[in-house]
Amino acid sequence: MKTVLVTGGAGFIGSNLVRWILHHRDWRVVNLDALTYAGNLENLRDVEQDPRYVFVHGRIEDAQLVTRLLEEYAVEGIIHCAAESHVDRSILSAAPFYETNVRGTLVLLEAARAYGIKRFLHVSTDEVYGSLGPDDPPFTEESPLKPNSPYAASKAAADCMVRAFVHTYNMPAIIARCSNNYGPYQFPEKLIPLMITNALADEPLPVYGDGHQVRDWIYVEDHCRGLVAAYEQGVVGEVYNFGGRSERRNIDVVRAILQLLGKPESLIRHVPDRPGHDRRYAIDCTKAERELGWTPTVTFEEGLAWTVEWYLHNRAWIESVRSGEYRRYYEQQYSWRLQEGAQV
Ligand code: NAD
Ligand code: TYD
């Protein structure tokens, strides 16, 4: 049985990816996650007993730990999701983004190279391409990197390092760049889960500026399927864009959520805009469709309805995240092993 190391597997996309792999492939998954505020082991409660699943608490910047895991589990390849991922946090403080996204990626690349990894899928973002005007064509894999936020800059720097490792050391790496994901288990600081959870609590919905900024939205499972396709079939050194072909203005997304929940638009509050706010992202994913046989299958209306439904049925998850209780779940589950100083 092959083993893949998924970094950041306790986060939003990582946990959906780990679950997708365990359901659709006969692989062992080692999940290396630092459990920052965004990492939540409750996201994987339904698969944690699967004998093919191993959780390891640690940081990707820990070269010794990464090397030990690669060797101990005879890892075939890495799917690198771990990151500091929230633009607003990067505006408040860029340093953690440099540490995890840039230095952490370099540590992983060096460990993977020394070990002789067979596959390295770097999970990046469309935000490395910068912002589009209203009539510009969507980003392709050939679009120049013009990151605007500290988050996007850190991801672009990591992408460049991955590219350099392919070019210089023949590292068998591939880069995936995806648009905005939404779906179950997304931490409620990103637009869609924040608006759902605030609306459920009858709290104001903060819309930055005029709300006319545009994002392309992809249902997280479509992205996960694309990541596995890129891991299995992608050509080394290539970049693959993934998107949902669902460009929407933020204000329209927020209104759709209120409508699904039967809540009034009077909850919307226009607040001062995010500094340096990118106006529009849109992604051309025809290369992934042509070369990987992948296509997004979930329409935005369908996916948003499922997502709202998921949050409605998982109030306990929302409560534990909002109250910080989810951190205690981790401590209870793993405290005895932590006390022994062993990996979990
Ligand atoms: P997330 O913030 O929900 O999860 C990140 C995970 O990484 C968390 O579990 C966290 O504990 C872990 N982590 C953070 N720093 C770490 C470190 N130093 N060592 C080990 N683990 C660490 O993020 P997400 O939304 O799931 O995004 C996952 C990846 O996908 C990121 O690389 C992000 O840039 C990329 N991406 C996200 C989106 C999106 O819309 N969410 C879109 C395109 C690309
Ligand atoms: P976000 O989910 O933070 O993703 P990104 O900035 O990576 O695209 O935000 C999506 C869009 O929603 C973005 O244009 C910023 C906007 N936004 C708000 O208007 N209000 C909010 O409270 C948040 C978190 C985001």
Q: Which structural domain, as residue segments, surrounds residue 41?
A: 3-182+218-245+280-298+324-339
The reply to whether 273 falls in a domain is: no
Look at residue 194 and tell me if it is in a domain.
Answer: no
Beta strands 77-80; 180-182: pairing state: unpaired
> Hunting for tokens 């209104």 — which residue is that?
255
Per residue in 76-85, pLDDT (tens digit) is: 999 999 999 9
Is 314 among the domain residues? no
Residue 56 lies in a domain: yes
Q: Residue 235: which region, alpha, beta or left (left: phi > 0; alpha: psi -120 to 50)?
A: beta
User: Which ligand is closest to the CA of 272, given by its number?
Assistant: 2
The pLDDT of residue 332: 63
Beta pairing partners, 121: 79, 174
CB atoms within 10 A of CB 330: 19
Report d(CA 254, CA 267) in Å as an integer: 10
Structure tokens at 198: 């605030």
226 assigned to some structural domain = yes
* Residues sharing a CB contact under 8 Å with residue 291, sequence separation 6 or more, in sequence order: 233, 234, 235, 238, 240
Give catalytic status of residue 151 as yes or no. Answer: yes
Active-site residue, 329 included: no
Closest ligand 1 atom, CA of 14?
26
pLDDT the model gives residue 322: 84
pLDDT tens for each residue of 181-206? 999 999 999 999 999 999 999 999 99
Q: What are the pLDDT digits (tens) for 217-227?
A: 999 999 999 99
Q: Which atom of ligand 2 is nearest to 209's Cα?
A: 19
Q: How does pLDDT run across 274-292, given as a tens digit for each residue?
A: 999 999 999 999 999 999 9
Q: What is the per-residue pLDDT for 335?
A: 53
Q: Is the CB of 249 under 6 A from ligand 2?
A: no
Tell how far the Cα of 110 is from the centroid of ligand 2, in angstroms: 33
Asked whether residue 311 is domain-assigned, the answer is no
166 close to 238: Cβ distance less than 8 angstroms: no
- The one catalytic residue among 33, 42, 84, 126: 126
Ligand 2 site, residue 209, Cβ cutoff 6 A: no
Q: Is the minimum distance from the CB of 11 to ligand 1 under 6 angstroms?
A: yes
Is 257 contained in some domain? Answer: no
Residue 103 lies in a domain: yes
Catalytic residue among 53, 151, 182, 231: 151
Residue nearest to atom 21 of ligand 2 (CA): 191
Overall size of the chain counted in residues: 344
Convert 174-229 into a string of H (helix), E (strand) and C (coil). Answer: EEEEECEEECCCCCCCCHHHHHHHHHHCCCCEEEECCCCCEEEEEEHHHHHHHHHH
pLDDT of 326 reads 72
| CATH number, position 86 | 3.40.50.720
Specify whether the CB–CB gap between 127 and 159 falls below 8 A: no
* Edge-first strand listing for the sheet containing 3-7: 53-57, 28-33, 3-7, 77-80, 119-125, 173-178, 239-242
Residue 194, ligand 2, Cβ within 6 A: yes
73: Cβ contacts below 8 Å, ≥ 6 apart: 3, 5, 28, 30, 54
In the chain, the number of structural domains is: 1
Atom of ligand 1 nearest to the CA of 16: 26
Residue 297 C-beta-side C-alpha neighbours within 13 Å:
8
Query: Above pLDDT 90, what percent of the chain?
Result: 93
